[in-house]
Amino acid sequence: MTSAEAAAGAFRTLHGTEPCGVWSAPGRVNLIGEHTDYNDGFVLPFALPHRLAAAGSPRDDKVLTLATLGSDGRIQQADPVRIPDLCPGEPDGWAAYPAGVAWVLREHGIDGGADLVIAGDVPTGAGLSSSAAIECAVALALLGLAGHGDPDRARRAEIARWAQRAENEFVGVPTGVLDQTASLCCVEGHVLFLDVRSGESEQVPFDAEGAGLRVLVIDTRVKHAHGESGYGERRRGTERAAELLGVEALREVTGDGLSSALGTLPAELAPLVRHVVTENDRVVEVARLLREGRMADIGPVLDASHVSMRDDYRISCPELDLAVDSAREAGALGARMTGGGFGGSAIALVRDTDQQAVENAVNAAFEQAGYRKPRLFTAVPSAGAGQDRP
């Protein structure tokens, strides 16, 4: 059953009628470019086949009702809220994400009520962007129910900023715009090369299977939550460094200017800057190699990215390091943690002939270390958010 069918089915169970429409949005893997988005840099994500769907119908009383279908098959309902009364802090928990989107859309004149039921299969807390998937599915649902058609590319980038605002200001998590843009703007068979500063983007073809390769996702099952982790601390550190260097964002520091910049910074900020500046270069490098059809050559760049996050940005954890190291020892061409860090998932680029050996090695390493069994799956670049059915 697809996420859209699950959401429509749960809607029928709860409301006794068909929903007027179903919209869904994917989670993402970031191939490379971590913690560069809020420094106005470059990112290179692709959309996962895993999606969250919002089935909905409009209401004429400005009330928003929210429900979610759990993996245990139970439907959980949040307290109904009046859209004119929405303000940050209430509701909290999972309902804050869709309510936050309604709060932002209200400012843009979309303030009709709705019944929404959410369902899907993006793993939560796995660094695969389930929060953005909820936000983007709900944004498209509320816009669609208000009569707006399928958004074009520019409009999708704008909706991504609205969803980010919901997360920053309503939920209270200081994340960048990577995840929402990936969820809304990625297209099947491609990675999205995005320059966050200019908003310019390029769809770069990414056919791993055609190249005899696979992107293996290793979900360590160490749950992360950016509200509580060191995410905000890292973000504040890079903003402070930019201020000390007299630039608006670290994006402006280039490889050439890096060593002189590092010499002027306090010891705790220099490694953060080194990560961001070198990571931007790595994103550009991977995009170049992919354009040249040299997918297998990106491996060492992925490895270098992981080392930079582990040692300079310090956002890895023992489980992520073990995932990366054991995959590489078993033949992966390259591996790195993906997403915000402090848990969540790693990715490994493997030859299809080595996939089984890599999976066995990762499972064995986790078992030997006494860690929870990781969840492993291969990911192909899939479609971005959209309407599934009228």
Q: What is d(CA 48, CA 50) in angstroms, rounded to the nearest whole number?
A: 5
> Which lies closer to ligand GAF via its Cβ, residue 319 or residue 354?
319
> Which lies closer to ligand GAF via its Cβ, residue 206 or residue 313?
313
Quick one: which of 121, 135, 179, 219 contacts ligand GAF (CB under 6 A)? 179
**Binding of ligand GAF at residue 175 (CB under 6 A)?**
yes
Q: Cα dist. 235→10, 35, 89, 224 in Å?
A: 39, 8, 22, 16
Q: Report which of 145, 140, 131 is spatially closest to residue 68, judged by C-alpha positions.
A: 131
Quick one: which of 339, 343, 381, 386 contacts ligand GAF (CB under 6 A)? 339
Spatial neighbors of 208 by CB under 8 A, at least 6 apart, are 214, 215, 295, 349, 380
Binding window for ligand GAF (CB under 6 A); candidates: 29-37, 110-118, 137-145, 260-268: 29-37
Could you tell me the smallest distance in angstroms from the CB atom of residue 290 to ligand GAF?
A: 19
Quick one: which of 37, 121, 303, 359 contacts ligand GAF (CB under 6 A)? 37
CB atoms within 10 A of CB 63: 16
Which residue do the tokens 């030859």 mark? 351
179 classed as catalytic? yes
Residue 336 region, left (φ>0) first, then alpha (ψ -120 to 50), else beta? beta
**Binding of ligand GAF at residue 178 (CB under 6 A)?**
yes
Q: Which of the 8 DSSP states describes residue 308?
A: I
Quick one: which of 4, 11, 34, 273 contacts ligand GAF (CB under 6 A)? 34
**Binding of ligand GAF at residue 176 (CB under 6 A)?**
yes
Quick one: which of 4, 35, 221, 349 contacts ligand GAF (CB under 6 A)? 35
Footprint (CB under 6 A) of ligand GAF, residues 75-94: none
Q: Are 114 and 142 in contact (CB under 8 A)?
A: yes
Q: Are 31 and 47 in contact (CB under 8 A)?
A: no
Which of 121, 179, 219, 303 is labelled catalytic? 179
**Binding of ligand GAF at residue 354 (CB under 6 A)?**
no
| Radius of gyration from C-alpha coordinates of the chain | 21
Quick one: which of 334, 340, 384, 386 contacts ligand GAF (CB under 6 A)? 340
Q: Interface residues with ligand GAF (CB under 6 A)?
A: 30, 34-35, 37-38, 175-176, 178-179, 339-340
Active-site positions read: 179
